[in-house]
Amino acid sequence: MIPLFTAQPSGKNMEDATSSNPQSIGFTEKLKSWLSWSWTYICAVWFAMVLTMIYVLRSPLKLQDTLTSASVFLNTLTPKFYVALTGTSSLISGLILIFEWWYFRKYGTSFIEQVSVSHLRPLLGGVESSTTTGLFSSVNGEAEPRPSVSECKVWRNPLNLFRGAEYSRYTWVTGKEPLTYYDMNLSAQDHQTFFTGDTQQLKPEDTGLNLSFSTVMQKAWRERNPQARIRAAYQAIEMNHECAAAYVLLAEEEATTITEAERLFKQALRSAGKDINLLVYIKRRLAMCARKLGRIKEAVKMMRDLMKEFPLLGMLNIHENLLEALLELQAYADVQAVLAKYDDISLPKSATICYTSALLKARAVSEKFSPEAASRRGLSTAEMNAVEAIHRAVEFNPHVPKYLLEMKSLILPPEHILKRGDSEAVAYAFFHLQHWKRAEGALNLLHCTWEGTFRIIPYPLEKGHLFYPYPGCTETADRELLPSFHEVSVYPKKELPFFILFTAGLCSFTAMLAMLTHQFPELMGVFAKAFFSTLFAPLGFFADKMESFMPSSFWHQLTRI
């Protein structure tokens, strides 16, 4: 098994190793480069030699007689044979086209191309495209640091909805499942991690009982069936009326209204004890309940108190909940204060941070902004700052503008998101579209300027402008997080692979030949003979020239040899 991480020599030892025998290393590299360069030419020479040998040995091999008999056989075939041949070719190429199209829609790449790159390219001496240099090499030739693995990490959606009160209602109305099994499985893992501390609040004599209902709750989070999870939660409550995790599950899964969910969360808060994970989770959900029920100032106070009480839990992104609530209050000064703390170069970014910053700067100039006037007089300093903020936000997540501009329909956000991906764009736009609409002219400014970002970063997968290059893993992860009825946004937009176009052309061409051969057999026969005689005319001309150039005795002696 090949280890993922291998120890590397220190800097001094590495320099000694490379400088100890530079001649051997240079010779090896030159030999490798020469072999890879000459491979194409060796194949061409070999192909030319094979053709020459076939021509020279045409008499001993009786190629002329074989071709004559083959042509006689083909002339005896009826047009029905050619109809069947072209029809079968069209059917096979059509099936390949359907499979290629399905594979491309599902995985974003061509199956034939993927197999060719993965299996045939190493056999032909090709190099892998995932080397440390190349895509991430700088101008001076040194390798820049690749994007960290955390850029492709899936994060908990800080504004995720309630399953019973919101996701389930959507399913009842539309009959569609808004959450994928992959997303729900990640949530089950989160809950098992968060809510394993109930044993700390009981007395030693109650430990055995606690372990039993804790096991029940562990099983409940793993259940796929919602009714099975709810039954397990009630079973845990029967075993211990103070099981806070069971009340959390009922608030998330069984409550059909936000008011009912809030009541169950308050019951869970009374039973949470000193379990920090439970306390933070419950208080956050209570604040979200207050926000959804219109008690926004109360929600803001709860979020601020939670951030003061647990300042080290910044990874939970509670500030994103606070930003959304403050925007609903139109407390833009408070929003700016929160951004000043969290929009720092040393802290991880998110679509909420970048686009909220762009919204505040756009709001300051958007009311009087006019594209025609700006093109005549140029952009003012404030307008330039707003445009740069929009470009920064679009570079971080290029999927958001289409949702904000309603060029693409929204769906319910998933419970987990991938930063810079379509899932994060859906989650941001679902909650913040109303705030952009409230700022007069902000969407107009976004509409006029967001596409200019792509001129700044013409090769986003290779080099970024303000951020790391755009991760290539987002499409695959988003397809797992978002439901199948949603068309995942892909950036940069992929063109149809060559093999899909090739199979489409082949299918159409062979189907046309089959139809024409069936309708006009004699005319197609004349056309086929004229086509092949024209096709092989250069070969006959080349053979005649070779025989006139080389003496017949030479060919005779070579044939005898």
Alpha carbon distance 398, 425 (integer Å)? 8
Least confident piece of the model among 50-54, 153-157, 210-214: 210-214
Q: What is the largest CA-CA distance in the chain?
A: 109
High-pLDDT (> 90) share of the chain, %: 37
State the average pLDDT over residues 202-228. 69
Instruction: Provide the pLDDT for residue 128.
Output: 43
pLDDT of 502 > 70? The answer is: yes
Nearest to 151 by CA among 136, 131, 139, 129: 136
Neighbouring CB atoms inside 10 A of 245's CB total 32
Higher pLDDT pick, 78 / 239: 239
High-pLDDT (> 70) share of the chain, %: 74
pLDDT of 369 > 80? The answer is: yes
* Model confidence pLDDT, tens digit, residues 342-367: 887 777 889 999 999 999 999 999 88
pLDDT of 4 > 70? The answer is: no
- Confidence tier at 299 by pLDDT (50, 70, 90): very high
State the average pLDDT over residues 548-556. 59
Higher pLDDT pick, 470 / 114: 470
Alpha carbon distances (Å) from 286 to 254, 293, 414, 513:
16, 11, 20, 69
Task: Work out the mean pLDDT of the chain and round it to a whole number.
Answer: 79
DSSP state of 314: G
pLDDT of 504 > 90? The answer is: no
Strand positions, DSSP E, 293-400: none
Instruction: Provide the pLDDT for residue 561.
Output: 56
Q: How many CA atoms lie within 13 A of 237 on its CB side?
A: 17
pLDDT of 125 > 60? The answer is: no
Instruction: Provide the pLDDT for residue 334.
Output: 95
- Confidence tier at 510 by pLDDT (50, 70, 90): confident
Instruction: Provide the pLDDT for residue 379.
Output: 84
Long-range contacts of the stretch 364-371 (C-beta < 8 A, 24+): 365/445, 366/439, 366/440, 366/441, 366/442, 366/444, 366/445, 367/440, 367/441, 368/441, 369/441, 369/444, 369/445, 369/448, 371/448
pLDDT of 166 > 80? The answer is: yes
pLDDT of 196 > 70? The answer is: no
Both tokens assigned to 48: 């030319």
State the average pLDDT over residues 250-264. 94
Cis peptide before 413 (omega within 30 of 0): no
Instruction: Provide the pLDDT for residue 445.
Output: 92
Alpha carbon distance 248, 499 (integer Å)? 51
- Confidence tier at 82 by pLDDT (50, 70, 90): confident
Instruction: Provide the pLDDT for residue 421.
Output: 94
Alpha carbon distance 448, 314 (integer Å)? 35
8 Å CB contact between 442 and 359? yes
pLDDT of 433 > 80? The answer is: yes
Both tokens assigned to 67: 């071709």
Instruction: Provide the pLDDT for residue 97.
Output: 81
pLDDT of 435 > 60? The answer is: yes
pLDDT of 25 > 60? The answer is: no
pLDDT of 420 > 80? The answer is: yes
pLDDT of 14 > 60? The answer is: no
pLDDT of 557 > 70? The answer is: no
State the average pLDDT over residues 478-496. 86
Alpha carbon distance 220, 300 (integer Å)? 32
Query: For the chain, which residues make up each domain, given as ranges?
Result: 499-527
pLDDT of 282 > 90? The answer is: yes
Alpha carbon distances (Å) from 323 to 28, 306, 343:
59, 14, 12
